[in-house]
Amino acid sequence: MTYMAASLMCGDQLHIGDELDKLEKANCDLLHLDVMDGIYVNNLALGPEWIDAVKKTTTIPIDIHLATIDPIKYIDMFAPLQPEFLSFHVEEARNVAETIAKIKSYGIKPSIALNPETPLSAIMPFLDDVEMVLMMTVNPGFSGQKFNKKVLKKIEELSELLLGQAHRPLIEVDGNIKSETIEWMNHAQPDIFVLGTSALFHENDNESYGTRMSKLRQQIERYKA
């Protein structure tokens, strides 16, 4: 099954309530929420109080991405919000197994994230312990970056590796996801596509969010057939 996640930091921040209403009507599967500390990436975004207010306003499950240093500290800060998934960067975890265990202790599905230049070998020992792998197709921090085509081979390799495995974590892709880049991934077949400014939150036409998501779902289902 294919899931669509909306990167809420790309939405209209002055009208988040309206954005959430439109996403619910569009049958959005997940809200992707980037937490950025201004240290690991050169941007700041989405504190726990803001996310708590979002969660109280919608029934869409929450997918929190910690683009931070010292993820253990931020797990304690954001886990009480009980997201569906909580991702941390393998590049910044001092002890990956301990970080995964910490997330699980809150009853949350752990997800491990890796940047475009990080090799798959960095996460291989932990695939049986996580419920999702977040493959960044851009460096985290800012929307609108160019899709890194080098990641395509890595996504395909991970997808092939997980075929037939007793435990198969979902593969989520994030970074300039749109019709064109989805087409490039037709052999990799990720499970979750994070949609931001390129595919969802733009004003280039009068289409509803539901129409935009539906077109992308149909495109993905064609190559999965």
Which residues participate in catalysis according to the annotation?
A: 34, 174
Q: Where are the beta strands (DSSP E) in 118-190?
A: 132-136, 170-174
Three-state DSSP at 91 gives: coil
Eight-class DSSP state of 217 = H
Beta bridge partners of 3: 192
Eight-class DSSP state of 145 = P
Instruction: Look up residue 112 and give its two tokens.
Output: 């491990």
Instruction: Look up residue 199 and give its two tokens.
Output: 């595919």
Could you tell me the maximum CA-CA distance found in the chain, to the nearest angstrom? 47
Residues 6+ positions from 52 with CB-CB distance below 8 Å: 81
